[in-house]
Amino acid sequence: MTKVRGGILVGCVWLATTTALAAQTAPRVGADSLGGESWLARRLNGQAQVFSEAYGISGAPRRRPGGTWRFMASPRVRLLGGTEVGLDLLLSSEGNSARQNINQVAFEPDWGWGQLHLGGFARDYSPYTMQGLRIRGAGLDISRWGIRGSLQGGRSAALVTTPDGPQFRRQVIAGAFGVGREGERSIDLRVVRAQDALVADDVFLLDTLGLDTLPADLRPQQRSRPQENVVASVASTWRLLQRRLSLRGEVAGALLTRDLTSPAVDADSSDAGGLTTLRTSSSGDAAWNLDAQWQGRSFALRGGVESIGAGFTSLGLAYLINDRRSWHAGGDLRLGGGRAVLQGRVQRQLNNVSGQRSSTTTREVLTGNATFRLPADFSASFVALLATAGNRETNDTLLVDNATSTLSATLARAWTLGGRSANASLAWSLQSTEDKNPIRLTPAVQVQTANLALALPLASWLSVAPAVSAVLPSDGVDGENVLGSLRLTVNGLRAMTASANASQTFVSARAVTSAGVQWGWELPGDIQFSLQGRYMRFGALGLRPGFSERFLTTTLARSF
């Protein structure tokens, strides 16, 4: 209840603020009426939104909180000399200490050739150094006279994945320096260093390996240890031959110390350039990629290679899959002035880069598609995909041998009905999958589906969008399913909109019936109000009983 009251309070404050801003945009009586908007109204822009959700369930335990709210704001103020000051704010009732506190506040002034970051922000560098990681601290970016520089530092906002293990304070500092025009001819150097504090934020606990079937005192355990990581990379981009040829690549090296409390190695060689101290738990590896593209008048060719070592790790990345080497090639061809477009791509990826496993898993993906513009405003498209994965493992448990293929075709037409836009589409697809592993043997299964969708304006205030999807008789599939949905959209006075929809689907062989309504209204002060209700009924499946869920959400949003 306290969180709900907090959300209501935030919403009231926000409404008062937006109303005041709306009043400033109105012409003032007297001399100012000739001058138009106030100084603040002319230079203030951005967005603000208040979201709330109520949740209910019958027939099953509650799967989420009964009430949640979020407040988001990103105002920007243009000052003298082209300087722009921004603030990013996110407050929510959904964060907690066991998962992640998602509240965010960021102050980011921008003055044309530079930008300052204060608070919680994410500044990406490259896929091997810094990307997708939000930190709480400060940063500075500058770009002038063909030279770029960036420096950021602070505490990583991400927590240790296990809620019952120790959480170490992780400090991250990163910098980048580049010369040349980005995307044309440039070279960039990037360095990231992340280090955990030696003392955990809470009582040092042991995190399990997830064997929940064993008693807690019998589960095998491992200790989460403080880590340190240094990553450096050099990247470059070149566009040559009147920009028809494009070359892009990056090479990076990473050094990871998995336990800062482990002993240092030989003192004569323990200093790695002054950035870190080599220890018995330290290891390093490299990653690199190279991409090339040729752009012709009616065709384009592209290809690339990438290798990421098994020991390459960057704590500045939110997500990375290492121990892989891959290459890809493809192109497109345009015929008849663009009336026909043909595209294709092939990709091959292998793991076991260092040869440390008994076998190597190879994954291949081939895709091709064709698009045609036909007479009478018709268009047709065809897509084909084949994906395989396999290895030469003699152990049945570790053997990988599976394949998936997809064929699809779509015919669509757009036209004008009563001065309004209408469209129709008919689609067909065939999906096949097979797993030849003797333990989890899955015979070839084929699924055919057909879809028909229409969007028709019935009047100036009403439009209808019916759709039907059918699962056709196929090998390995028992029975047929016909699924349908219907959506009505109503446009009323003063920018009022309303819509309703209903559908019948199947999720993991369980029937799911859903229905929803949405209503929107433009309030005074250019505030957009939205009310949405949604009902879902999950049918019974075997011993699992049926249950229903209900959602009611409201949104207040304003752009200024």
Give the pLDDT band of residue 5 (cuts 50, 70, 90).
Answer: very low
**Mean pLDDT across 463-469:** 85
Across 108-117, 381-390, 426-435, 493-502, least confident range: 493-502
**Mean pLDDT across 107-112:** 81
Same domain, 192 and 286: yes
d(CA 290, CA 247): 7
Q: Between residues 267 and 446, which one has the greater pLDDT? A: 446
Same domain, 252 and 124: yes
Please identify, among 475, 509, 544, the residue that sits at the C-terminal boundary of a domain: 475
Same domain, 271 and 384: no
Residue 160 reports pLDDT greater than 50: no
**Mean pLDDT across 154-164:** 60
Same domain, 352 and 382: yes
Same domain, 245 and 356: no
Q: Which of 141, 138, 201, 144 is nearest to 168 (CA)?
A: 201
Give the pLDDT band of residue 271 (cuts 50, 70, 90).
Answer: low
Return the H-helix or E-strand segment holding 493: none
Residue 254 reports pLDDT greater than 90: yes
* 84 is a domain residue: no
Average pLDDT taken over every residue of the chain: 80
Residue 251 reports pLDDT greater than 90: yes
Q: What is the pLDDT of residue 226?
A: 85
Same domain, 254 and 370: no
* 485 is a domain residue: no
Q: Which long-range contacts (CB under 8 A, 24 or more apart) does 236-239 make?
A: 236/186, 236/187, 236/188, 237/182, 237/183, 237/184, 237/185, 237/186, 238/184, 238/185, 239/183, 239/184, 239/185
For residue 283, give both structure tokens. Answer: 């290891």
Same domain, 398 and 298: no
Same domain, 258 and 181: yes
Q: What is the pLDDT of residue 39?
A: 57
Residues of the chain above pLDDT 90, percent: 36
Q: Between residues 390 and 91, which one has the greater pLDDT? A: 390
Same domain, 266 and 358: no
Q: What is the pLDDT of residue 199?
A: 75
Q: What is the pLDDT of residue 482?
A: 67
Domain of 427, in residue numbers: 323-454+470-475
Q: What is the pLDDT of residue 211?
A: 44
Q: Give the pLDDT confidence of 411-434 residue by residue, as tens digits.
A: 999 988 878 889 999 999 999 998
CA 99 to chain centre: 19
* 27 is a domain residue: no
For residue 338, give both structure tokens. Answer: 């663009």
d(CA 255, CA 278): 9
Q: What is the pLDDT of residue 514?
A: 85
* 58 is a domain residue: no
For residue 47, give both structure tokens. Answer: 């967005």
Please identify, among 424, 443, 475, the residue that sits at the C-terminal boundary of a domain: 475
Whether pTM > 0.75 for this model: the answer is no
Q: Which of 88, 85, 93, 90 is nearest to 114 (CA)?
A: 85
Contact predicate 15/558, CB 8 Å: no
* 257 is a domain residue: yes
d(CA 268, CA 279): 12
* 399 is a domain residue: yes
State the Cα angle at 557 between 554 and 560, rounded to 5°: 170
Same domain, 411 and 448: yes
For residue 419, give both structure tokens. Answer: 């001065």
**CB neighbours (10 Å) of residue 136?**
16
Q: What is the pLDDT of residue 498?
A: 76
Q: What is the pairing mode between strands 282-295 and 185-200? A: unpaired
Q: Please state the domain count of the chain.
A: 2
| DSSP H stretches of helix in 355-428 | none
Same domain, 232 and 146: yes
Residue 274 reports pLDDT greater than 80: no
Q: Give the pLDDT confidence of 43-68 residue by residue, as tens digits.
A: 677 788 898 999 999 988 888 888 88
Q: What is the pLDDT of residue 102?
A: 58
Q: Residue 270 to residues 25, 118, 276, 280, 498: CA-CA distances in angstroms?
A: 64, 35, 8, 10, 68
d(CA 490, CA 459): 9
* 293 is a domain residue: yes
* 125 is a domain residue: yes
Q: What is the pLDDT of residue 1?
A: 44
HEC readout, 240-273: ECCCCEEEEEEEEEEEEECCCCCCECCHHHCECC
Give the pLDDT band of residue 35 (cuts 50, 70, 90).
Answer: very low
Query: Any idea how long the chain is?
Result: 560
Across 1-15, 317-331, 465-479, least confident range: 1-15
For residue 496, the SS3 value is: coil
Across 57-61, 293-297, 298-302, 496-500, least confident range: 496-500
Across 157-161, 323-327, 447-451, least confident range: 157-161
Torsion of CA 503, 506, 512, 518, to 10 degrees: -30
d(CA 170, CA 555): 36
Q: What is the pLDDT of residue 447?
A: 85
Q: Which of 242, 240, 267, 273 is nearest to 255 (CA)?
A: 273
Q: Between residues 190 and 511, which one has the greater pLDDT? A: 190
Please identify, among 295, 319, 343, the residue that sits at the C-terminal boundary of a domain: 319
Same domain, 315 and 330: no
Residue 269 reports pLDDT greater than 80: no
d(CA 50, CA 527): 11
